A and B are shown apart, each in its own frame.
Chain A
Amino acid sequence: MKQLLILSFLLAQSLCVFSQKYITQSGTISFFSEAPIENIESTNNQVSSVINLENGQLVFSLLMKAFVFEKALMQEHFNEKYVESEIYPKAIFKGQIQDFDNMELSTTPLDVTVIGTLTIHGESHEITNVGQMYFDENNRIRVNSKIEVALDQYKIKIPSSVQENISNTIAITIQMEYEKLD
């Protein structure tokens, strides 16, 4: 009994100590909004994220002000009027890869589903992402995904004067490259 207890205790400890975490601070997330007058696109290539390969949990964190637009004025309006990044500087996603225990991650791209909570502009909603995940030749984990976000759900208001220029649904592209955390 005692030996069993010690053994399982060690097992639990080993889960904590020998971590299987993969991390990046230079992931890329871009978004695109198609509108009759002017398409709006922007990229953030300073996205932080970490995946825990023991349980399939992953977390994303990014600074809204790190989104770069072609037009400087657009960038200022994005930060000041729409996402209000002085008040809500970060967007965060906490998710769980579904059916992770039965998954064999390899160099072949694997379709995965992630369910989690996305927080933008101080508003949190559960979303489901579908994407691909695989090891590349340098033993890094690659994750690619596309999601759509409805601005009104996150209380990002579009003034009626520019409603023609900005669509409510924004297509978001996610490209990540994780390195093993020692």
Chain B
Amino acid sequence: MKNWIKRGIAVHIFIILSTAVQGQDDLLELLNAQEEPETSFTIATFKSTRLVSGHSVETNKKGDLQFLIGHRFGRINSGWRELYGIDNATIRFGFEYGLTDNLNIGIGRSSFQKTYDGNIKWRFLRQKYGAEEFPLTATWVSTMYVLANEFPNTERENYFNQRLSFNHTLLLARKFGKLFSLQLMPTVMHRNLVATEQDENTVFAMGAGTSIRLTGSVRFNVEYHYIFPNQIASPVGGEDVTNALSLGVDLETGGHVFQLHITNSRGMTEKYLVGETTGVWGDGDIHFGFNVSRVFTTKKHKKIP
């Protein structure tokens, strides 16, 4: 009998104590049980819509207008008289606009060959985690280029469509943890006018890039484009065409992203990166360059009252 009472009291005390001590955790469990499983999209795979000179999978949000301005200087091995290439800059400026969070359009103009470009960019798959998972983000970007410089050969009859080039790139990217992102860029480049019959009008290339987070605001990026062999025969500007390799750093300060890089390509669009890059890293044909990107918000989220 005594034992029975003792045991009863012990159980009793235990129940009272456990409700008192675990009360808050029980409440939290109650809240967790009410929650529906969440799916989250991976954000900020890259800092900007450009990795270095080529596109990243990132798009501008709906209503965001991005102003991009880029410079590529001359080669650092051009010597002191040229201030190591600083005297000889090419420039591209452009605007990109988010029609939706996933669909962007853009225009731009490069001083080199006086080229106008227009692009459409569609992020059609997004990496996500939680209740639903998907391993990567996929973005398609198509660009059209119009060269507005003098025709190279004015003796013959020239047509407007000789000025046109087209690029199509599929961007596939995955963010691993918060520190490291990887991107593959299979690319098709079509030039309506090429130098000789030995040059393919349509050039296939494979790009690869990575972004490594150093701090919340600073990242290190690498971008490389490999052109499959036997497609380009003619030299450009007297030099053989090479594969573009670029190293860059992103500095993000709120609305601005500053991207500083060194590269063997002067191209700020795929047309030059793939098929018109002639610098050789080992020979010191390295260009210093930068992009500055500023985002203007034209449509604000509605305030929650």
A interface residues, Cβ below 8 angstroms from B: 1-2, 5, 8-9, 12-13, 15-16, 21, 23, 25, 28, 30, 43, 45, 48-50, 52, 55, 57-59, 61, 63, 65, 68-73, 75-77, 79-82, 84, 86-87, 89, 92, 94-96, 157, 159, 161-162, 165, 181
Is residue B32 contacting chain A, with contact meaning CB distance below 8 A? yes
Contact A68 B43 (CB under 8 A): no
Contact A159 B216 (CB under 8 A): yes
Which of B13-21, B108-116, B165-173 lies at the interface with chain A?
Answer: B13-21
Q: Which residues of B contact A92 (CB under 8 A)?
A: 28
Contact A80 B34 (CB under 8 A): no
Contact A52 B23 (CB under 8 A): yes
Q: Which residues of A contact B12 (CB under 8 A)?
A: 5, 8-9, 12
Number of interface residues of B (CB under 8 A): 43
Contact B43 A49 (CB under 8 A): no
Specify the chain A residue showing the minimal Cβ separation from B1. A2
Contact A57 B27 (CB under 8 A): yes
Tell me the complex Cα distance, A28–B101, Å.
26
Q: List 7 A-B contacts (CB under 8 A).
A: A49-B31, A50-B30, A59-B28, A69-B301, A72-B61, A73-B64, A73-B255
Is residue B42 contacting chain A, with contact meaning CB distance below 8 A? yes
Tell me the complex Cα distance, A44–B165, Å.
48
Contact B30 A21 (CB under 8 A): yes
Contact B15 A12 (CB under 8 A): yes
Contact B34 A76 (CB under 8 A): no
Tell me the complex Cα distance, A59–B34, Å.
13
Specify the chain A residue showing the minimal Cβ separation from B253. A161
Tell me the complex Cα distance, A21–B32, Å.
15
Checking B23, B27, B101, B215 against A159 with a beta-carbon cut-off of 8 angstroms, the contacting residue is B215
Q: Which residues of A contact B297 (CB under 8 A)?
A: 70-73
Is residue B35 contacting chain A, with contact meaning CB distance below 8 A? yes
Checking A23, A63, A69, A73 against B30 with a beta-carbon cut-off of 8 angstroms, the contacting residue is A23
The answer to whether residues A73 and B178 also contact, given A55-B20, A59-B24 and a CB cut-off of 8 A, is no
Contact A86 B43 (CB under 8 A): yes
Chain B residues 108-135 with CB under 8 Å of chain A are: none
Report the tally of A-B residue pairs with Cβ distances under 8 A: 118
Distance in Å from the Cβ of B66 to the closest Cβ of chain A?
A: 10
Q: Which residues of B contact A72 (CB under 8 A)?
A: 61-64, 101, 297, 301
- Give me 5 other A-B pairs in contact (C-beta within 8 A), A16-B15, A52-B27, A95-B24 excluded: A28-B304, A73-B295, A80-B216, A81-B216, A89-B38
Nearest first, the 10 A-B pairs at minimum CB distance are: A81-B216, A72-B61, A43-B304, A59-B27, A80-B44, A94-B24, A70-B300, A161-B253, A71-B297, A48-B31
Tell me the complex Cα distance, A162–B215, Å.
14
Contact A70 B216 (CB under 8 A): no
Q: Which residues of B contact A13 (CB under 8 A)?
A: 15
Q: Which residues of A contact B42 (CB under 8 A)?
A: 86
B interface residues, Cβ below 8 angstroms from A: 5, 8-9, 12, 15-16, 19-20, 23-25, 27-28, 30-32, 34-35, 38, 40, 42-44, 61-64, 101, 178, 215-217, 251-255, 295, 297, 300-301, 303-304
Distance in Å from the Cβ of A174 to the closest Cβ of chain B?
A: 14
Checking B19, B24, B25 against A16 with a beta-carbon cut-off of 8 angstroms, the contacting residue is B19
Tell me the complex Cα distance, A159–B254, Å.
10
Checking A57, A87, A165 against B24 with a beta-carbon cut-off of 8 angstroms, the contacting residue is A57
Contact A81 B217 (CB under 8 A): yes
Checking B38, B178, B251 against A84 with a beta-carbon cut-off of 8 angstroms, the contacting residue is B178
Contact A68 B301 (CB under 8 A): yes
Q: Which residues of B contact A161 (CB under 8 A)?
A: 217, 251, 253-254
Distance in Å from the Cβ of A107 to the closest Cβ of chain B?
A: 24
Q: Which residues of B contact A181 (CB under 8 A)?
A: 30
Specify the chain B residue showing the minimal Cβ separation from A1. B5
Tell me the complex Cα distance, A49–B8, Å.
35
Contact B43 A80 (CB under 8 A): yes
Contact A71 B31 (CB under 8 A): no
Q: Which residues of B contact A77 (CB under 8 A)?
A: 252, 254
Tell me the complex Cα distance, A9–B8, Å.
9
Tell me the complex Cα distance, A120–B87, Å.
51
Q: Which residues of B contact A52 (CB under 8 A)?
A: 23, 27
Distance in Å from the Cβ of A141 to the closest Cβ of chain B?
A: 14
Tell me the complex Cα distance, A1–B25, Å.
34
Checking B28, B30, B178, B251 against A86 with a beta-carbon cut-off of 8 angstroms, the contacting residue is B178
Tell me the complex Cα distance, A16–B42, Å.
41
